[in-house]
């Protein structure tokens, strides 16, 4: 397989008020692959995803999507931030699913899914509604289209949030602990949607504590700790024969 | 001299009182709209990162919170036309002077209400909007504002009631709003009780109607499928491709 990786992350650094959170993150992901990211709390996993979703600028480093740099550009040997307008266009390529869903509470489920289509892609209301309904059906919620977020369970809300991101037709989907805010009995329905998505060939990066999901669905599992990727391996290898002491320690806590 | 209910009722249905009440409400509406628009920009200015946006917004709020509304009205009506000849023209009526004057003062208070409403919207909302590729302006209009309005609605209702009452200050610039109407009548007839009672009834009715309207408005912001159905029943039930309609 000599295919170019769909997403490449190079030497990503980020510091918040002197607190160095990302210290040179590097990885590739190939089209259709699912990467599960494990790691202790506060290690910078969400920060890494926010940078990849272009919601915050990196201090240094590069993100390449399909070989082209996104989020920043080179100018006279220096990395400069892009305009908000350019960033907004690039963000459509990267779908993001948040831990706390972040659905728009003032819009019904179908309108949550439509908003990106109508207000970003400029698709007509009528057409957007058809596409949004379609996407809600894919996550098993066509019968909840007109419900508002406050009328949906956590699992249903997260599935709407997945549909909202998917309908923009992104190249990569990022998930930030998509099930950790859910009651245990609601985790399964969200993981199932994600598993179907993985099977359909979507490229996914999933920050999660769900070891079983990582083992079954991911092509590659990553341990993220102290602002860097510590270990990266196929699931079997990662869980049965980790190379690093820190991975072994982490796994002994979650198992 | 007993309370003469005939005089009372005659005033209650008189054209003068109705016109006065309508003027009071109109001044309140115009100044609230003005205050909301100015207040919004001041609120955005005060939450901005750039000091050149924050400073003027701060100054505005500081200034108009300190100055009595009465003084602002007197300045609007008496001082400004002396300085600005254009304001000596006929179009510059007591109604406009009162609406603008009260609006300028009220904007300082509305900016506080709007600012805290904007801040109360969860950061994750803007994040989700931007992640979809929405521009900052779109995020504000489509995501943040609708949620902020719901928060700002109850205190804004209170401000509106306050403005209806504050409109009586405009008597000093010879605007014949509700209270001035009563006062003028009293000065001729000396029937204090009847004329003031009629004014009280009008104020009570105005504020009651406002409260009902506010309740209806807040229901619209309940964000449930029930409240949505009554709003746009046709749209909510349109099935996908070929409508059955
Ligand atoms: N916007 C911010 N401003 C300042 N510090 C931040 C900000 N975002 C994150 N941090 C800090 O960066 C560090 C990493 O945070 P991050 O949320 O990325 O960790 P995480 O791995 O996602 O943890 P968790 O498992 O708890 O979600 C933390 O110490 C956090 O306090
Ligand atoms: Mg996190």
pLDDT in tens, B64-121: 999 999 999 999 999 999 999 988 888 999 999 999 999 999 999 999 999 999 999 9
- What's the average model confidence in pLDDT over A180-206? 96
User: Would the pLDDT of B237 be above 50?
Assistant: no
Residue B61 lies in a domain: yes
Residue nearest to atom 1 of ligand 1 (CA): A16
Report yes or no: A35 and A6 within 8 Å, Cβ to Cβ.
no
How far does Cα A190 stand from its chain's mean position?
14
User: Would the pLDDT of A150 be above 50?
Assistant: yes
Residue nearest to atom 6 of ligand 1 (CA): A16
Which of A160-174, A238-252, B174-188, B218-232 is modeled with the greatest confidence?
A160-174
Q: What tokens appear for A56 in the block?
A: 């915050």
Of A96, A134, A147, the CB nearest to B225: A147
Nearest-CA neighbor of A89 among A121, A117, A66, A63?
A121
Q: What is the model's pLDDT at position A254?
A: 76
Burial grade of B196 (CB within 10 A; 0-12, 13-18, 19 or more): middle
CATH number of the domain encompassing residue B83: 1.10.3720.10
Q: What is the model's pLDDT at position B228?
A: 64
- Decide: helix, strand or coil at residue B144: helix
Q: Which residues contact A75 (CB under 8 A, 6 or more apart)?
A: none
Cα gap B30→A145, rounded to integer Å: 39
Ligand 1 residue neighbourhood (C-beta within 6 Å) = A 16, 19, 21, 39, 41-47
- Decide: helix, strand or coil at residue A29: strand
Q: What tokens appear for A92 in the block?
A: 């459509």
Q: What is the model's pLDDT at position B241?
A: 40
Cα gap A143→B108, rounded to integer Å: 46
Cα angle vertex A29, ends A26, A35, to 5°?
95
Beta carbons of B133 and A106 less than 8 Å apart: no
Q: What is the pTM of this model?
A: 0.88
pLDDT band at B36 (very low <50, low <70, confident <90, very high): very high
Residue B7 lies in a domain: no
Beta carbons of B241 and A130 less than 8 Å apart: yes
Q: Which of A3-7, A88-92, B125-129, B154-158 has the lowest mean pLDDT?
A: A3-7
How far does Cα A219 stand from its chain's mean position?
15
Residues A207/A165/B151/B169 CA torsion (nearest 10 deg): 130
Q: Which residues contact A26 (CB under 8 A, 6 or more apart)?
A: A9, A10, A11, A12, A229
Residue B22 lies in a domain: yes
Residue B184 lies in a domain: yes
Name the pairing type of β-strands A72-75 and A78-81. antiparallel
- What's the average model confidence in pLDDT over B209-223? 92
- What's the average model confidence in pLDDT over A122-136? 97
Residue B245 lies in a domain: no
Of B127, B134, B240, the CB nearest to A130: B240
Is the CB of B65 inside 8 Å of chain A's CB atoms?
Answer: no
User: Would the pLDDT of A10 be above 80?
Assistant: yes
Domain with B226, as residue range(s), is 14-237
Residues B4/B5/B6/B7 CA torsion (nearest 10 deg): 60
Residue B155 lies in a domain: yes
Q: What is the model's pLDDT at position A75?
A: 84
Average pLDDT, chain A: 95
Q: What tokens appear for B55 in the block?
A: 């400073």
Q: What is the model's pLDDT at position B227?
A: 66
pLDDT band at A3 (very low <50, low <70, confident <90, very high): confident
Q: Which of A115-129, A186-200, B215-229 has the lowest mean pLDDT?
A: B215-229
Q: What is the model's pLDDT at position B243?
A: 33
pLDDT band at A74 (very low <50, low <70, confident <90, very high): confident
Cα gap A109→A146, rounded to integer Å: 6
Residue nearest to atom 16 of ligand 1 (CA): A44
Beta carbons of B133 and A168 less than 8 Å apart: yes
Q: What is the model's pLDDT at position B186?
A: 87
pLDDT digits (tens, 9 = 90+) for B118-162: 999 999 999 999 999 999 999 999 999 999 999 999 999 999 999
Residue B8 lies in a domain: no
Residues A125/A129/A131/A134 CA torsion (nearest 10 deg): 180
User: Would the pLDDT of A77 be above 90?
Assistant: no
Q: What is the model's pLDDT at position A2?
A: 58
- What's the average model confidence in pLDDT over B234-244? 39
Q: What tokens appear for B20 in the block?
A: 């006065």
Query: Which letter does DSSP use for residue A93 in this model?
Result: T
User: Would the pLDDT of B235 be above 50?
Assistant: no
Residue B85 lies in a domain: yes
Q: What is the model's pLDDT at position A4?
A: 85
Cα gap B169→B154, rounded to integer Å: 24
Q: Which residues contact A198 (CB under 8 A, 6 or more apart)?
A: A34, A204, A217
Q: What is the model's pLDDT at position A56?
A: 95
Is the CB of A111 inside 8 Å of chain B's CB atoms?
Answer: no
Q: How far is the CA of A44 from the centre of ligand 2 (A)?
A: 7
Of B131, B136, B225, the CB nearest to A148: B225
Q: What is the model's pLDDT at position B226?
A: 77
User: Would the pLDDT of A1 be above 60?
Assistant: no
Q: What is the model's pLDDT at position A253?
A: 82
Q: What is the model's pLDDT at position A255?
A: 61
Q: What is the model's pLDDT at position B147?
A: 96
- What's the average model confidence in pLDDT over A150-174? 97
Cα gap A241→B2, rounded to integer Å: 100
Q: What is the model's pLDDT at position B234?
A: 41
Average pLDDT, chain B: 89
Residues of A in contact with B223 (CB under 8 A): 105-106, 148-150
Choice between A221 and B179, residue whose per-residue pLDDT is larger: A221
Report yes or no: B177 and B24 within 8 Å, Cβ to Cβ.
yes
Q: How many domains does chain B have?
A: 1
pLDDT band at B229 (very low <50, low <70, confident <90, very high): low
Percentage of chain A lying above the pLDDT 70 cut? 99
How far does Cα A11 stand from its chain's mean position?
19
Report yes or no: A55 and B130 within 8 Å, Cβ to Cβ.
yes
């Amino acid at each position: 397989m000599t295919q170019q990786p769909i997403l490449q992350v190079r030497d990503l650094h980020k510091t918040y008020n002197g607190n160095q959170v990302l210290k040179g993150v590097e990885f590739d992901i190939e089209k259709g692959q699912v990467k599960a990211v494990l790691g202790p709390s506060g290690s910078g996993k969400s920060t890494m995803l926010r940078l990849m979703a272009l919601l915050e600028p990196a201090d240094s480093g590069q993100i390449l999507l399909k070989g082209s740099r996104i989020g920043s550009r080179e100018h006279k040997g220096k990395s400069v931030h892009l305009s908000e307008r350019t960033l907004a266009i690039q963000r459509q390529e990267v779908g993001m699913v948040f831990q706390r869903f972040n659905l728009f509470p003032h819009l019904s489920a179908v309108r949550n899914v439509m908003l990106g289509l109508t207000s970003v892609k400029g698709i007509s209301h009528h057409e957007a509604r058809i596409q949004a309904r379609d996407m809600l059906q894919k996550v098993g919620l066509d019968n909840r289209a007109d419900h508002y977020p406050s009328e949906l369970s956590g699992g249903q809300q997260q599935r709407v949030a997945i549909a909202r991101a998917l309908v923009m037709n992104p190249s990569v989907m990022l998930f930030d602990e998509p099930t950790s805010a859910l009651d245990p009995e609601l985790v399964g329905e969200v993981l199932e949607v994600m598993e179907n998505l993985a099977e359909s060939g979507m490229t996914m990066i999933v920050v999660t504590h769900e070891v079983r999901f990582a083992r079954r669905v991911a092509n590659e599992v990553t341990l993220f700790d102290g602002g860097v990727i510590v270990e990266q391996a196929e699931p079997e290898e990662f869980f049965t024969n980790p190379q690093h002491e820190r991975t072994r320690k982490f796994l002994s806590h979650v198992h | 001299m007993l309370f003469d209910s005939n005089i009372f009722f005659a005033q209650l249905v008189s054209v003068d009182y109705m016109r006065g009440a309508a003027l009071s409400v109109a001044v309140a509406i115009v100044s609230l709209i003005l205050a909301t628009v100015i207040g919004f920009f001041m609120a955005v200015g005060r939450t901005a990162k750039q000091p050149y946006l924050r400073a003027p917004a701060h100054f505005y709020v500081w200034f108009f919170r300190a100055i009595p509304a009465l003084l602002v009205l007197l300045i609007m009506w008496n001082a400004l036309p002396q300085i600005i000849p254009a304001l000596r023209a006929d179009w510059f009526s007591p109604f406009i002077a009162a609406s603008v004057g009260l609006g300028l003062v009220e904007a300082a208070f509305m900016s506080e209400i709007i600012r805290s409403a904007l801040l109360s919207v969860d950061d994750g909302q803007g994040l989700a909007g931007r992640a979809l590729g929405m521009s900052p302006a779109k995020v504000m209009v489509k995501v943040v504002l609708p949620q902020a309005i719901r928060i700002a609605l109850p205190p804004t209702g209170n401000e509106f009631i306050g403005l209806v009452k504050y409109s009586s200050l405009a008597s000093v610039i010879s605007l014949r709003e509700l209270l001035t109407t009563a006062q003028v009548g009293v000065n001729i007839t000396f029937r204090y009780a009847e004329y003031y009672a009629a004014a009280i009834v009008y104020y009570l009715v105005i504020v009651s109607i406002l409260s009902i309207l506010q309740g209806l408005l807040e229901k619209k912001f309940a964000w449930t499928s029930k409240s949505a159905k009554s709003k746009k029943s046709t749209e909510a039930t349109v099935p996908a491709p070929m409508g059955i309609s």
